[in-house]
Amino acid sequence: MSQVNAIGLNSAKSEDIVKSLNTLLSSYQIQYMNARGFHWNIKGRNFFELHVKFEEIYNLLLLKVDEIAERILTLDGAPLHAFSDYLEISKIKEAKNISDGEAAVENLLAGYSTLINMQREILEQAGDAQDEGTASLMGDYITEQEKLVWMLKAYLN
C-alpha cells in the first residue's frame, strides 16, 4: 500500500479522516431527516414561518451530505449509504413525532451543536494531515452553522 494517496496526502491519516467523515455523514443524514420531519409535521401559531425555515434548513443539510460524501471519495474512501449504517454510528438521534415548534427548534439546536463539535474535531484532524480540502470544508460549515445556532437561539428567546 502506498504511503500517499492520489491527492498527495498520507494514506493512513486520510483513512482516519474518512472514518470521521463517515460518522459526520451519518449524523448529517439524521439531522436532515429530523428537519424534514419537522417541516412536514409542524403545527401551531408559528407554522408558516417554521415550515419555511425547516425547508431551508433541510435543503442546506442535503447539500452538505453530498459534499461530505464526495470528499470521502476524494480521499479514496467509500461513503456510507445505508440508513442502517447511519442509525448505528450517527451521533445525532432520530426525532420522532415532534410537531411543536419550540421542541423542533431545540432538537435542531442540539443537533447543530453536535455537528459543530464533530466538525471542529475533523478540522483539527485535517490540519494534522495537511488536508486543506477537508479543513476548508469544515471551516465553512462551522462558520455557517454558528450563525444559524445564534439565530435559532434568538428565536427561542
- Residue 62 inside a domain? The answer is yes
The enclosing domain of 61 has a CATH number of 1.20.1260.10
Which residues span the domain enclosing 72? 11-156
- Residue 5 inside a domain? The answer is no
- Residue 125 inside a domain? The answer is yes
- Residue 102 inside a domain? The answer is yes
| Rounded distance between C-alpha atoms, residue 149 and residue 78, angstroms | 30
- Residue 2 inside a domain? The answer is no
- Residue 1 inside a domain? The answer is no
pTM of the model: 0.96
List the beta bridge partners of residue 10.
4
**Length of the chain in terms of residues written:** 157
CB 20 within 8 A of CB 77: no
Show Cβ contacts of residue 136 under 8 Å, excluding neighbours closer than 6 positions: none
- Residue 71 inside a domain? The answer is yes
Nearest CA to 94 among 19, 20, 26, 42?
26
78-105: per-residue pLDDT in tens? 999 999 999 999 999 999 999 999 999 9
126-140: per-residue pLDDT in tens? 999 999 999 999 999
Cβ–Cβ contacts within 10 Å for residue 84, how many? Answer: 7
- Which pLDDT score, from 0 to 100, does residue 108 have? 98
Nearest CA to 29 among 78, 77, 70, 62?
62
Number of domains in the chain: 1
- Residue 122 inside a domain? The answer is yes
Local confidence pLDDT in tens for the 157 residues of the chain: 569 999 999 999 999 999 999 999 999 999 999 999 999 999 999 999 999 999 999 999 999 999 999 999 999 999 999 999 999 999 999 999 999 999 999 999 999 999 999 999 999 999 999 999 999 999 999 999 999 999 999 999 9
CB 141 within 8 A of CB 22: no
